[in-house]
Copies of this chain bind each other. A is one copy, B any other.
Amino acid sequence: MKFNIKDVARKAGVSISTVSRVVNDSKVVKPETHEKVMKAIEELGYKPNAIARSLKVKNTKTIGILIPDISNQFYPEVVRGIEDIANMYQYNIFLCNTDLDPEKETKYFDILAEKQVDGIIFISNIVSEALYKKFKVYDIPVVLIGADYEDVPSVSIDNVGASKSIVNYLIKKGHKRIATIVGKNSDPVMGVARLEGYKTALREANISIDNELIIEGGHRYKSGYEGAKRLLELEEPPTAIFATNDEMAIGTLRAALEQGLDIPEDLAIVGFDNIDMAGKVYPALTTVAQPMYEMGAIATRVLTKILNEEELETRKIVLNYSLLERESS
């Protein structure tokens, strides 16, 4: 027994337009009629059909979010930020895991477009030419998190600066032999920007760059663990390791601890991101924090502004990172 606006109208003895008016509380309706209608709505347990409404008003009050993988520790926090703000503005969110796979990205994008989402939040390191074209063709508003591309609004942090700053911190602590475990070089963030920050910091401190100390990991715990083991086997091992994300840093931590090293006396370890786990391991991880919740929240706010056709002060928002000195360094 699902009732529609017609049933309510009949029951209340008014026309469907009147019912529609009270549902969308237009102020023109007479109090008594309002009451009559409300009573009918109550009694029938009527709920408006948002699909039908959407077809008419041409918006769905839903936004799609494309995320690499919700089970990766970094993302839940940003999704939470997105959902909180979306909810505040009466939007619901479609969650899609892309695994950073371009095919999945386009596939999901098409589906979201067909489902008429009002906007999309896209989280990735890279936006492909093909996808960018789709943004344009369907002209559905998109905001990027963590990446930056052409004229697409985005929110991110200064990865070069952040990684430079944490390496600087290590240098100030007196370290000279500083290793890093970076992402694949196809990854513009963990493989390029953060590596560049590392190199710049070293260069500016007149420390020569030793390629032996630069390990290409990936982004998971295991890469960190294995990378660290290799580093620790060097004739002249590093006194500090900068893993370009926390998960790898935690893998590094284990490698060091297994060898009985004292952290941070024998080896300093620092990460990047400040995932939830970073502060909970022992010793707690020094890291440069990305404001993950805020990134989600702000990106969503930007999107709602676009949807409301409000003015945007900036299309490119760069958030501040912050250095969290804890126990591992």
Q: Which residues of A contact B (CB under 8 A)?
A: 1-2, 45, 47-52, 54-55, 60, 62, 69-73, 75-77, 79-80, 83-84, 87, 92-97, 110-116, 137-139, 221, 247, 250-251, 253-254, 257-258, 276-277, 280-282, 293
Q: Is the CB of B95 within 8 A of A49?
A: no
Q: A51, A112, A114, A277: which has the most chain B beta carbons within 10 Å?
A: A51
Min Cβ gap A301→B in Å is: 17
Number of copies: 2
| B contact residues around A54 at 8 Å (CB) | 51
| B contact residues around A95 at 8 Å (CB) | 79, 83, 93-95
| B contact residues around A84 at 8 Å (CB) | 97
Min Cβ gap A19→B in Å is: 15
| B contact residues around A257 at 8 Å (CB) | 282
| B contact residues around A2 at 8 Å (CB) | 138
Q: Is the CB of A114 within 8 A of B76?
A: no
Given contacts A76-B71, A281-B281, contact A50 B253 (CB under 8 A): no
Given contacts A60-B51, A110-B47, A280-B251, contact A115 B92 (CB under 8 A): yes
Q: Is the CB of B70 within 8 A of A70?
A: yes
Q: Is the CB of B70 within 8 A of A116?
A: no
Min Cβ gap A266→B in Å is: 15
Min Cβ gap A74→B in Å is: 10
Q: When chains A and B are docked, how far (Å) is the Cα of A51 from the Cα of B115? A: 6
Min Cβ gap A228→B in Å is: 12
> Which 3 residue pairs of A and B lie closest in terms of their CB atoms, listed nearest first?
A71-B80, A95-B95, A50-B114
Q: Is the CB of A79 within 8 A of B70?
A: yes
Q: Is the CB of B221 within 8 A of A280?
A: yes
Task: Identify which of B70, B111, B115 contacts A83 (C-beta below 8 A).
Answer: B70
Min Cβ gap A82→B in Å is: 9
| B contact residues around A251 at 8 Å (CB) | 280
Q: Is the CB of A93 within 8 A of B94?
A: yes
Q: When chains A and B are docked, how far (Å) is the Cα of A253 from the Cα of B114? A: 49
Q: When chains A and B are docked, how far (Å) is the Cα of A204 from the Cα of B114? A: 59
| B contact residues around A79 at 8 Å (CB) | 70-71, 95
Give the residue name and chain of the B residue nearest to A250 (CB): B280
Q: Is the CB of B93 within 8 A of A80?
A: no
Q: A71, A75, A83, A96: which has the most chain B beta carbons within 10 Å?
A: A71
Q: Is the CB of B69 within 8 A of A80?
A: yes
Q: Is the CB of A92 within 8 A of B97?
A: no
Min Cβ gap A86→B in Å is: 10
| B contact residues around A76 at 8 Å (CB) | 70-73, 75-76
Q: When chains A and B are docked, how far (Å) is the Cα of A71 from the Cα of B76? A: 5
Give the residue name and chain of the B residue nearest to A140 (CB): B2
Min Cβ gap A251→B in Å is: 7
Give the residue name and chain of the B residue nearest to A58 (CB): B51
Q: Is the CB of A49 within 8 A of B114?
A: yes
Give the residue name and chain of the B residue nearest to A48 (CB): B114
Q: Is the CB of A113 within 8 A of B83?
A: no
Q: When chains A and B are docked, how far (Å) is the Cα of A238 from the Cα of B251? A: 30
Give the residue name and chain of the B residue nearest to A253 (CB): B282
Q: Is the CB of B221 within 8 A of A116?
A: no
